[in-house]
């Protein structure tokens, strides 16, 4: 019986600048470095990591691109722990560039937002309800043919709703969805008849349900609102498997 020889792939050495990046990243995420705290100067980092200045600079460049540090005064870098909006923007950009489709966005909206509306009916405080009403009134003043402004108001309504839930995880998730709602709406809203009026009507019924603390009605109207978006795709002859970008 012949002996089977197992083959292993060669190990790849990780560049030193990535090790610098990951060491500082772990310290920031783990809380060792606080938001607003200054990093040591380049010379000190070179000494601590025992690497060259170019290696440290490349690691810092990656951290800056990731949004974990920002340039402060006296050529120092300041720790900038990401907030929910930062996470949302990064997630939505990555998904859009990755080819996320109209159908994927719509299916996620249809699952998450009716439940978010249900929670909102129970949780939104008066300030959050007031902010949503301000957005709704702003949409009333938009011209029917001003599609860009209509999209802005539609997205802002969802953004205000997400903020009012007082849950940072949900805020990041929902805001990333909201940004993709905007991308998809821009491609269909000019082709959907009475789009602004239909959005206004749905938002008004959702707001009334929130004010009445009626969770069932809030969920029902949000589901109708999301279903109406799907009808807009159909009217605009959007291929649901087509990327939104």
Domain assignment present for 6: no
**pTM of the full predicted structure?**
0.69
Instruction: Kindly state whether residues 104 and 146 are assigned to the same domain.
Output: yes
Q: Would you tell me how many other CB atoms lie within 10 Å of the CB of residue 205?
A: 17
CB 179 within 8 A of CB 188: no
pLDDT in tens, the chain (245 residues): 556 677 776 666 778 888 998 899 888 877 888 889 999 999 999 999 999 999 999 999 888 887 889 998 777 899 987 777 776 776 777 777 678 899 999 999 999 999 999 999 999 999 999 999 999 999 999 998 999 999 999 999 999 999 999 998 888 889 888 888 888 888 888 888 889 999 999 999 999 999 999 999 999 999 999 999 999 889 888 899 988 87
Tell me the C-alpha distance between 170 and 45, whole Å. 37
Domain co-membership, 53 together with 98? no
Same domain, yes or no, for 70 and 134? no
3-state secondary structure (DSSP) of residue 40: coil
CATH of the domain at 134: 1.20.120.530
96 and 43 belong to one structural domain = no
Which residues have CB under 8 Å from 202's CB, separation 6+? Answer: 221, 224, 225, 228
How many separate domains does the chain show? 2
Instruction: Answer yes or no: do 28 and 53 share one domain.
Output: yes
Query: Which residues make beta-bridge pairs with 243?
Result: 101
Residue 148 contacts by C-beta under 8 Å, 6 or more apart in sequence? 186
């Amino acid at each position: 019986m012949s002996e089977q020889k197992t083959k292993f792939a060669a190990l790849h050495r990780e560049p030193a600048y990535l090790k610098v990046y990951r060491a500082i990243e772990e310290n920031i995420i783990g809380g060792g470095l606080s938001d607003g705290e200054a990093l040591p100067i380049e010379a000190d980092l070179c000494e601590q990591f025992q690497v060259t200045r170019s290696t440290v600079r490349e690691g810092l460049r990656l951290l800056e691109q990731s949004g974990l540090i920002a340039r402060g005064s006296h050529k120092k870098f300041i720790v900038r722990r990401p907030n929910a909006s930062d996470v949302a923007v990064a997630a939505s950009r990555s998904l859009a560039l990755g080819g996320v489709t109209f159908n994927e966005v719509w299916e996620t909206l249809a699952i998450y937002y009716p439940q978010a509306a249900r929670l909102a009916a129970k949780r939104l405080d008066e300030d959050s309800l007031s902010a949503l009403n301000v957005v709704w009134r702003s949409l009333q003043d938009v011209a029917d043919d001003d599609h860009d402004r209509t999209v802005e108001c539609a997205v802002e309504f969802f953004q205000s709703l997400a903020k009012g839930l007082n849950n940072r995880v949900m805020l990041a998730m929902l805001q990333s969805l909201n940004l993709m709602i905007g991308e998809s709406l821009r491609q269909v809203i000019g082709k959907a008849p009475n789009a602004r009026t239909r959005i206004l009507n749905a938002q008004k019924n959702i707001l009334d349900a929130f004010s009445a603390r009626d969770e069932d009605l809030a969920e029902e109207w949000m589901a109708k609102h999301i279903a109406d978006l799907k009808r807009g795709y159909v009217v605009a002859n959007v291929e649901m498997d087509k990327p939104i970008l």
